[in-house]
Amino acid sequence: MELFLDTAEVEEVREIASWGILDGVTTNPSLIKKSGRDFKQVIGEIAELCSGPISAEVTAMDAKGMIEEGLALKKELPENVIIKVPCTAEGLIATKELSSQGIGVNVTLIFNASQALMAAKAGAMYVSPFVGRLDDIGQEGMDLIAQIMTIWREYPEIRTKVLAASIRHPTHVLECLQLGAHTATMPTKIFRQLMKHPLTDSGIERFLSDWAEVENAGNA
Ligand code: E4P
C-alpha cells in the first residue's frame, strides 16, 4: 500500500518526506501553475526529496507529441520520474510505446472502469481514477474504485497499480485502501489530517500536566 502526495509545492514534499512514510508524488499542470514555478525545476527538486515515483504530466494531445515529451522528460529528469498521460486513445498509444521502452506511465483522468482496463492493457504502471471529481458531479466516486478492484481481482495477471486520486478527505483514503486500491494520492492537508485526533492532543496535554505535577512534587 502506497501513500502519495498530490502537490507541486517543494516545501510540502520536504515536510511529508521527513516523516519517512512518503511513497511518491503526483503533480499535474494545474498544480504546477499554482506553484508559480518552472515545471522541470520543480519536478527535479521533488524527485531529490522523494525516491518513489514522481508523476510529471505531458501536455501534448497527440500520441507522437506525448511520446516525445515523455522521452525528453525522462532524459532530463531523475530516474524516479514517471510520465503521466491523459486517458484518451492517443494516450493509450503513448502508454504502450513508453511502457515498451521500460518507462513508467501513470494514466490520469480516469472516470470509468473501462478506461482503467484499457490503460492497464496498454501497459500503464498506474491508473488514476478520480474519486472527488465524480463526487462533485453527484456520482459515487468510491463505486469506481470498487468496480476497478473487482475486475483486478478477477484478472490477477493485471500488474497495473490502482492509484486513487482526487481525494478530498481522510475517509476517502481509508475507503480506497479498504477496497484494495494499491495507492492513494492526496494533498498535504489530508496527510496532516490522517495523523490528527483531538483525543491524542488532549491526551498529551493531560500526560504533560500530570508529569509536571510529579516533577514539582519531586517524585520524578
Ligand atoms: C492526481 O494525480 C491529480 O493530480 C489529483 O488527484 C487531482 O485532484 P483534484 O480533483 O483535487 O484536482
Question: Which domain CATH number covers 170?
Answer: 3.20.20.70
Confidence of residue 218 (pLDDT cuts 50, 70, 90): confident
Give the predicted TM-score (pTM) of the model.
0.96
Residue 86 parent element (H or E): strand 81-86
Q: How many Å separate Cα 189 from the centre of its chain?
A: 14
Mean pLDDT of 129-136: 98
Number of domains comprising the chain: 1
- 75 in catalytic set: no
pLDDT in the model for residue 45: 98
CB 186 within 8 A of CB 4: yes
The finding on whether 183 has its CB within 6 A of some atom of ligand 1 is no
Q: For ligand 1, is residue 187 a contact (CB within 6 Å)?
A: no
Identify the domain containing residue 116 by its residue range. Answer: 2-219
Q: Judge if the beta carbon of residue 28 lies within 6 A of ligand 1.
A: yes
Residue nearest to atom 12 of ligand 1 (CA): 166
H/E element, 66: helix 63-76
Rounded to the nearest integer, the mean pLDDT of the chain is 97
pLDDT of residue 76: 97
Given the residues 64, 84, 161, 189, select the one marked as catalytic. Answer: 84
